[in-house]
């Protein structure tokens, strides 16, 4: 976990990490949230859709933005304020994704960071673009 203070981060600063969701992760998320939509849980149903098989819940994948700001940029002193994201392309279980974040702006008076973020496939296809705002508590 990074421990950047507001003064220690800079506009243009970037970070990235990779993650892979397993079928077990998807089932645990379904059980935790109660979202048992067959697009995520039923191979027979989902293979007959435009996706050709089960896909990972968009909100499960989007939760990686929490990891981005809470662990990496800025890390420990982060308070998540807002997230705008769009689901452009589906993610399948066992598909490795890359999570990127880049500081776009610092609002000194409020200690707020605006972060451009995205989740991509390994071949750089954008799956989920996002804009995040966080307050840095220290």
- Is the separation of the CB atoms in 14 and 100 below 8 Å? yes
With respect to residue 110, please indicate whether it lies within any of the assigned structural domains.
yes
11-20 pLDDT tens trace? 999 999 999 9
With respect to residue 1, please indicate whether it lies within any of the assigned structural domains.
no
90-131 pLDDT tens trace? 999 999 999 999 999 999 999 999 999 999 999 999 999 999
Q: Please give the tally of structural domains in the chain.
A: 1
> Could you tell me the residue range of the domain that residue 95 belongs to?
6-136
Locate all alpha helices (DSSP H) within the chain, ordered by sequence: 23-33, 38-41, 43-46, 58-62, 64-67
Tell whether the torsion through CA atoms of 45, 51, 54 and 55 is positive or negative: negative
Q: What is the pTM of this model?
A: 0.93
CATH number at residue 34: 3.10.129.10
């Amino acid at each position: 976990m990074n421990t950047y203070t507001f003064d220690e981060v800079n506009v243009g600063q970037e970070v990235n990490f990779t993650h892979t969701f397993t079928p077990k992760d998807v089932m645990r998320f379904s059980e935790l949230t109660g979202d048992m939509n067959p697009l995520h849980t039923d191979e027979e149903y989902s293979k007959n859709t435009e996706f050709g098989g089960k896909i990972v819940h968009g909100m499960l994948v989007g939760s990686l933005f929490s990891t981005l700001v809470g662990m990496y940029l800025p890390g420990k002193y982060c308070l998540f304020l807002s997230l705008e994201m769009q689901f452009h392309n589906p993610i399948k279980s066992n598909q490795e994704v890359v999570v990127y974040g880049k500081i776009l702006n610092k609002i000194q008076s409020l200690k707020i960071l605006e972060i451009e973020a995205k989740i991509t496939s390994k071949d750089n296809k954008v799956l989920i673009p996002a804009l995040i705002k966080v307050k840095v508590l220290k």
